[in-house]
């Protein structure tokens, strides 16, 4: 062992042993002996995942497919809706139980992403506002993104046991950083003179945040959300090692049996799900001006039925819409 060698100034590292791994083990042991503290958190996560999964599975697949296509149409337009319909159909026809597995995976992803937003958005805003917080959180985010998943897989399992909750926690660790980073970037990217104007007109800090900074940072934040969703999906296979069900588990089992065909089924399913989620969230990220500055309820399926529901309101709004383009001469 290195400790028995005499100290060598040119190679100090091999002669000094700080026993870091043993100490870490000690911390782990202490944490495990106090694991019941985590029990409430665990049950909250568990009930969240279970209810999302049950909701997703309660809807018949065809209805669910239509629902997702309608959401895609609303959020991102007709073309994306068609792509989403095709992807979901391919996913469904991959194997008889592919749809069910996909919904389980989706439930895990949705639970992880919701938690990421709840944690990541405030952290990102804080990081965007405070340089000190940004510099202190950056190494943490770096660690979360680069440390191999297997390193925290084992401690998480020891603390929380195997199953979906651990899977969601592991996914959050991996998928959270881009949301924090891009929220911070978005807040920092807001034009300072606009913020100053808001201050000059008497806006409070929270009004500046909600009425100016967040709306202007929205495209960047949504890009972060998109990345968070994609990373969550990419964790699905690794999370299946700690007995998370769904498409990832299919891939893992198929690999164990060297069953390439089955692995392709699971893998393609994940890809299809990824395309669907990516296109929908990117569509939300597009600003309304790319679609002719309409409000979201003026187009898509809601735009088709909205006039029948809110006829009265639309009429009164129509009266106030002015006739334009004759006034350009003002500037001449």
Partner 1 sequence: MTKANQEEVIRCDGIWKIFGQKSGQALEAIRRDGLTKREIRERFDCVVGVQDASFSVKRGEIFCIMGLSGSGKSTLIRHINRLIEPTAGSVIIEGQNVNAMNARDLRALRAERIGMVFQSMALMPHRTVRENVVFSLEVRGIDEDRRNKVARQSIEAVDLSGWENKYPDELSGGMQQRVGLARAIAADPTILLMDEPFSALDPLIRKQLQTTFMKLSAELHKTTVFITHDLDEAIRIGDRIAIMKDGVLVQIGTPEQIVTEPADDYVSDFVAGISKLDLVTAARVMQPLERYGQANPIGDMSMWPVARAEDKLNALVDLAVGTEHPILIKEQGQTVGVVTKRALLRGIQGRDESAPVMAEVH
Binding to partner 1 by residue 215, rule CB under 8 A? yes
Q: What is d(CA 203, CA 195) in angstroms, rounded to the nearest whole number?
A: 9
Binding to partner 1 by residue 204, rule CB under 8 A? yes
Judged by beta carbon, residue 212 or residue 251, the one nearer partner 1 is 212
Judged by beta carbon, residue 31 or residue 203, the one nearer partner 1 is 203
Judged by beta carbon, residue 188 or residue 199, the one nearer partner 1 is 199
Q: How far is the CB of 325 from partner 1 (least distance, A)?
A: 8
123-132: b or e for each residue (b if 16 or more CB lie within 10 Å)? bbbbbbeeee
Binding residue for partner 1, selected from 293, 311, 316, 318, defined by CB under 8 A: 293
Segment contacting partner 1 by CB under 8 A, of 24-32, 42-50, 193-201, 306-314 = 193-201
Q: What is d(CA 90, CA 98) in angstroms, rounded to the nearest whole number?
A: 10
Q: How far is the CB of 197 from partner 1 (least distance, A)?
A: 4
Binding to partner 1 by residue 290, rule CB under 8 A? no
Binding to partner 1 by residue 315, rule CB under 8 A? no
Binding to partner 1 by residue 193, rule CB under 8 A? yes
Q: How far is the CB of 283 from partner 1 (least distance, A)?
A: 18
Q: For residue 20, with 0-12 CB atoms within 10 Å meaning exposed, 13-18 middle and 19 or more buried, which class applies?
A: exposed
Judged by beta carbon, residue 199 or residue 253, the one nearer partner 1 is 199
Segment contacting partner 1 by CB under 8 A, of 42-50, 113-121, 238-246, 318-326 = 318-326
Binding residue for partner 1, selected from 158, 203, 230, 284, defined by CB under 8 A: 203
Judged by beta carbon, residue 136 or residue 294, the one nearer partner 1 is 294
**Token pair belonging to 82:** 């068609």
Binding to partner 1 by residue 162, rule CB under 8 A? no
Binding to partner 1 by residue 319, rule CB under 8 A? no
Segment contacting partner 1 by CB under 8 A, of 47-55, 96-104, 265-273, 317-325 = 317-325
Segment contacting partner 1 by CB under 8 A, of 4-12, 58-66, 208-216, 253-261 = 208-216
Binding to partner 1 by residue 327, rule CB under 8 A? yes
Binding to partner 1 by residue 329, rule CB under 8 A? no
- The secondary structure of the chain, three-state, reads CHHHCCCCCCCHHHHCCCCHHHHHHHHHHHHHHCHHHHHHHHHHHHHHHHHHHHHHHHCCHHHHHHHHHHHHHHHHCHHHHHHHHHHHHHHHHHCCCHHHHHHHHHHHHHHHHHHHHHHHHHHHHHHHHCHHHHHHHHHHHHHHHHCCHHHHHHHHHHHHCCCHHHHHHHHHHHHHHHHHHHHHHHHHCCCHHHHHHHHHCCCCHHHHHHHHHHHHHHHHHHHHHHHHHHHHHHCHHHHHHHCCCCHHHHHHHHHHCCCHHHHHHHHHHHHHHHHHHHHHHHHHHCCHHHHCCCCHHHCHHHHHHHHHHCHHHHHHHHHHCCCCCCCHHHHC
Segment contacting partner 1 by CB under 8 A, of 11-19, 233-241, 278-286, 322-330 = 322-330
Binding to partner 1 by residue 36, rule CB under 8 A? no
Residue 300 near residue 288, CB atoms below 8 Å:
no
Binding residue for partner 1, selected from 199, 253, 262, 291, defined by CB under 8 A: 199
Binding site for partner 1 (CB under 8 A): 191, 193-194, 196-204, 207, 211-212, 215-216, 289, 293, 321-324, 326-327, 330-331
């Amino acid at each position: 062992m290195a400790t028995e060698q005499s100290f060598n100034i040119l190679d100090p590292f091999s002669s000094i042993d700080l026993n870091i791994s043993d100490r870490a083990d000690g911390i782990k042991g202490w944490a495990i002996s106090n694991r019941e503290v985590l029990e409430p958190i665990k049950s909250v996560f568990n009930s969240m995942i279970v209810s999302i999964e049950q909701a997703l599975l309660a809807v018949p697949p065809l209805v669910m497919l239509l629902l997702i296509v309608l959401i895609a149409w609303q959020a991102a337009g007709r073309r994306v809706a068609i792509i989403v319909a095709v992807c979901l159909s391919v996913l469904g026809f991959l194997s008889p139980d592919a749809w069910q597995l996909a919904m389980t995976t989706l439930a895990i992803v949705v639970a992880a992403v919701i938690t990421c937003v709840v944690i990541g958005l405030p952290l990102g805003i804080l990081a965007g506002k405070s340089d000190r917080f940004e510099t202190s959180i950056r190494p943490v985010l770096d660690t979360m993104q680069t440390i191999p998943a297997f390193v925290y897989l084992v401690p998480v399992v020891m603390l929380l046991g195997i199953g979906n909750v651990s899977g969601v926690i592991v996914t959050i660790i991996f998928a959270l950083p881009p949301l924090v980073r891009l929220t911070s970037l978005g807040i920092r990217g807001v034009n300072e003179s606009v913020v100053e104007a808001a201050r000059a007109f008497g806006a409070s800090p929270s009004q500046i945040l909600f009425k100016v900074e967040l709306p202007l940072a929205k495209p960047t934040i949504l890009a972060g959300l998109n990345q968070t969703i994609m990373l969550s999906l990419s964790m699905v296979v690794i999370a299946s090692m700690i007995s998370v069900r769904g498409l990832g588990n299919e891939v893992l089992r198929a690999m164990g049996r060297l069953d390439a065909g089955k692995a392709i089924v699971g893998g393609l399913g994940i890809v299809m799900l990824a395309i669907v989620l990516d296109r929908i969230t990117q569509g939300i990220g597009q600003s309304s001006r790319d679609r002719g500055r309409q409000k979201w309820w003026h187009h898509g399926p809601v735009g088709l039925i909205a006039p029948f529901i809110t006829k009265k309101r639309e009429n009164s709004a129509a009266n106030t819409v002015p006739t334009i383009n004759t006034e350009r001469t003002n500037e001449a």
